[in-house]
A and B are shown apart, each in its own frame.
Chain A
Amino acid sequence: MDVGDGAVIDRGGLDALIAGLRSTGFRTMGPVARNGAIVLGEVARSGGLPLGWRDRQEPGRYRLEQNQGPELFHWAVGPASWKSEFFSPEEVLWRTPTSDGHVTLAEPDEPARPIAIIGARPCEVTALGVLDRVLMGGKVPDNRYAARRADAFLLVVECGTPAGTCFCTSMGTGPSAGTGYDLALTELVEVEHRFYAQVGSATGAEVLAGVPHRPVTTDDRSARQAVLARAEAQMGHSLDTEGLPGLLARNLEHPRWQEVAERCLSCGNCTLVCPTCFCSDIKDVSDIAGAVERQRRWASCFDLEHSYLHGGPVRPTTASRYRQWLTHKLSTWWDQFGESGCVGCGRCIAWCPVGIDLTEEAAAIRATDGAVAAGEGRIS
């Protein structure tokens, strides 16, 4: 079996696939329904996946519903993204294990077991690629992130049921799988519950060849196309990306920044659920005996301290911080890394406590391109 080849497996085949990955030393992680949301957890068999669950998402709203169907992947995305498995929410960079008057720096060891992701979404695989360019594409890569990524196995599941907040078709990141995965599955439920599998890497080919499978038929192909076409038609949101980086770059004094700042709580939820947000704080923590730990934690550009210089923060107002977040995602990410920082997963829309919708904000600026705030509405 080669890259690009396909086969069909059933749920037993998926169980065999998970078991096979576990027997070769992988920690198999996947989406699980827990505490009313699809979150990430260890998955030892297909039954641990969100069987029969579907999500309903709108600006500021996320709910799970049971529909008793046979589907494992009848939902879009939960609040947690796979970013956290490679770029830890908090980790120790080094510590001084002794305090005998001499400084010794020790880096913690990496966990020995690599991760296999069972069921990332196409937009999430794109997001990992975006993060790769940031965290390991520059002159000095993040060695921990790079090591975790290099060893990982990525099984992507194409999207059949986008949420009301999804706009991957606008961003070119879904609902079908692009590149960057080992295996892609499409869940098909009509006539028989099965998965259309496509090989994305040599490892993926090996894994698929090792589980019970059958050749792809014309019916399987058209069933997959029908799933993807339905998903595209159901896409809840859209974003007009035509000239978007330039549009935002020339509207830094648009009155909309002040208007959205009156709704924005500056809570940072959007940055925590975003699969590409990469900001981190580096802090030293010491104990009473003199041992020191340097820690790295996810940070948010909505925090006042994020832009702190001696004398005060550079971005003291919510308007300036919201402007930083939106223009970074959709405009200056292009300057910095040559691509969009947004993959259209819609998490920031659903998990914003006041339902701020970045597609709506961008559209509002486009609708009044060139408007300039006066007086107190100005940021500068």
Chain B
Amino acid sequence: MTTRTESSSDTAALLGPLTPELYRIVGRRVETGDVVTLSLEPPGGRTSSAFSHGQFNMITAFGVGEVAISISSAPGAPGPIEHSVRDVGAVTHALCVAPIGATVGVRGPFGTNWGIDDLEDGADVVVVAGGIGLAPLRGAVRDLIDRMRAGRGEVFVVVGARSPEQILFAEDIEEWRRSGAHVIVTVDVGAPGWEGPVGVVTSLLAGAPFDPVRSVALTCGPEIMMRFAARALADRGVDPLRIRVSLERNMQCAIGLCGHCQLGPLLVCRDGPIVPFGGMADRLFMERQR
């Protein structure tokens, strides 16, 4: 029998790819009514696995199950690795209510990334996020703002939420604004005191002051939102090959073995989740029930 305990990682190389590493919850922040950000650290002073913007980990709530959760902190950022979890099922619920000090399992990181390390100088970046879709973009926006400060390209962020109290990472959004990023937040349904726009993100893309020809777009959110946002961006003149979307399918192994995340020609865990809109997601978005 080969074992893994919290105090030892000596046997790591001998264990299979479906056995998680053990991490500890060292921080817990309630973001909105149903989203909690967990800060995770491997015990014993070990460092977390290196990851790229937009990748995800498989997180285990022991005794309940394992789910794919995107990493919401930035690669290379000091401190623990963060995952923002929306309470939508048994495992995400267990994670959302897990206390500081609890042990969780972590496998990863998995999947393709936003590719922002390879952007050419002068390219502007348009980020379009809906709901929890902002989580895998949060670290990217942080690093895109550093890039903007270095004079390498502007950052436009369009965020959609169901209502003002459901706006994720409100403090970060303020910070992004102060740093000079162009940020628009819209809600589906307003509330007393809300003075921002009400409506879907796509309606705001038409008027946003970015130069489409120089732009790269990164979008994550409900599939229907991405479909319309990507089309609106393409209509504005953004090259469809430079529009990147993050796909979602049932994921169980995350290493291309279990077959659940198939989407036509893709195994989303292996070939995605981030794929170009042009020549790939544009077609897949039209093939429903696939």
User: Which residues B98-129 have CB closer than 8 A to chain A?
Assistant: 103, 105
Contacts of A307 in B (CB 8 A): 249-250, 260
* A93 contacts B256, C-beta separation under 8 Å: no
Contact residues of B: prevailing secondary structure:
loop
* A140 contacts B89, C-beta separation under 8 Å: no
* B289 contacts A107, C-beta separation under 8 Å: no
- Knowing A93-B16, A107-B19, say if A142 contacts B4 (CB, 8 Å): no
Report which B residues bind A (CB closer than 8 A). 1-6, 15-20, 22, 60, 62-66, 88-89, 103, 105, 248-250, 252-253, 255-260, 262, 264-267, 270, 286-290
* A138 contacts B289, C-beta separation under 8 Å: no
Contact of B255 among A97, A139, A279, A319 (CB under 8 A): A139
Q: Is A161 an interface residue (CB 8 A)?
A: no
Instruction: Choose, from A71-79, A117-125, A289-297, A365-373, the stretch at the interface.
Output: A289-297
Some 27 contacts from A to B, beta carbons below 8 A apart, are A93-B18, A94-B16, A94-B18, A94-B19, A102-B6, A102-B103, A103-B105, A104-B4, A105-B20, A105-B105, A106-B1, A107-B1, A107-B3, A142-B257, A280-B252, A282-B66, A284-B64, A286-B63, A294-B18, A301-B259, A310-B89, A319-B289, A320-B290, A323-B290, A324-B262, A327-B264, A379-B289
Contacts of A335 in B (CB 8 A): 264-266
- Knowing A109-B1, A280-B253, A335-B265, say if A292 contacts B63 (CB, 8 Å): yes
Contacts of B15 in A (CB 8 A): 105, 107
Report which A residues bind B (CB closer than 8 A). 93-94, 96-97, 102-109, 134-135, 138-144, 252, 278-284, 286, 290, 292, 294, 296, 299, 301, 306-310, 314-317, 319-320, 323-324, 327-328, 332, 335-336, 379-380
* B289 contacts A380, C-beta separation under 8 Å: yes
Determine how close the nearest CB of chain A comes to the CB of B199; give it in whole angstroms: 22
Contacts of A106 in B (CB 8 A): 1-4
Contacts of B267 in A (CB 8 A): 336
- Known interface pairs A105-B3, A139-B256; 16 further A-B residue pairs with C-beta atoms within 8 A, sorted by A's residue number: A93-B16, A109-B1, A138-B257, A139-B255, A140-B257, A278-B257, A278-B259, A281-B260, A284-B63, A309-B250, A314-B249, A316-B289, A320-B289, A327-B264, A336-B265, A336-B267
* B88 contacts A310, C-beta separation under 8 Å: yes
* A104 contacts B5, C-beta separation under 8 Å: yes
CB closest chain-B residue, reference A277: B259
Contacts of B256 in A (CB 8 A): 134, 138-140
Contacts of B258 in A (CB 8 A): 279-282, 296, 299
8 A-B pairs with the lowest CB-CB distances in the bound complex, closest first: A335-B265, A279-B259, A320-B289, A380-B288, A140-B255, A310-B88, A106-B3, A282-B252
Determine how close the nearest CB of chain B comes to the CB of A277; give it in whole angstroms: 8
Bound-state CA distance A307–B262 (Å) is 9
CB closest chain-B residue, reference A107: B2
- Knowing A139-B256, A279-B258, A282-B252, say if A103 contacts B6 (CB, 8 Å): yes
* B62 contacts A96, C-beta separation under 8 Å: yes
Contact of B16 among A144, A252, A332 (CB under 8 A): A144
Contacts of A323 in B (CB 8 A): 290
Bound-state CA distance A249–B20 (Å) is 37
Determine how close the nearest CB of chain A comes to the CB of B9; give it in whole angstroms: 11
* A314 contacts B290, C-beta separation under 8 Å: yes
* A314 contacts B250, C-beta separation under 8 Å: yes
Contact of B63 among A279, A282, A290 (CB under 8 A): A290
* B16 contacts A309, C-beta separation under 8 Å: no
- Knowing A104-B3, A314-B289, say if A279 contacts B250 (CB, 8 Å): no
Contacts of B265 in A (CB 8 A): 332, 335-336
Determine how close the nearest CB of chain A comes to the CB of B54; give it in whole angstroms: 18
Determine how close the nearest CB of chain A comes to the CB of B158; give it in whole angstroms: 23
Determine how close the nearest CB of chain B comes to the CB of A328; give it in whole angstroms: 7
Contacts of B260 in A (CB 8 A): 279, 281, 299, 306-307
Determine how close the nearest CB of chain B comes to the CB of A273; give it in whole angstroms: 16
Contacts of B257 in A (CB 8 A): 134-135, 138, 140, 142, 278, 280
Bound-state CA distance A102–B101 (Å) is 11
Contacts of A140 in B (CB 8 A): 17, 255-257
- Knowing A103-B103, A140-B255, A335-B264, say if A282 contacts B289 (CB, 8 Å): no
Contacts of A278 in B (CB 8 A): 257, 259
Contacts of B64 in A (CB 8 A): 284
- Knowing A135-B257, A138-B256, A278-B259, say if A306 contacts B250 (CB, 8 Å): yes
Bound-state CA distance A310–B255 (Å) is 21
* A105 contacts B4, C-beta separation under 8 Å: yes
Bound-state CA distance A292–B66 (Å) is 12
CB closest chain-A residue, reference B257: A142
Determine how close the nearest CB of chain A comes to the CB of B216; give it in whole angstroms: 26
Contacts of B266 in A (CB 8 A): 335-336
CB closest chain-B residue, reference A283: B65
Bound-state CA distance A317–B289 (Å) is 8
Contacts of A315 in B (CB 8 A): 289-290
Residue with the greatest number of chain B CB neighbours at <10 A, chosen from A102, A294, A316: A294
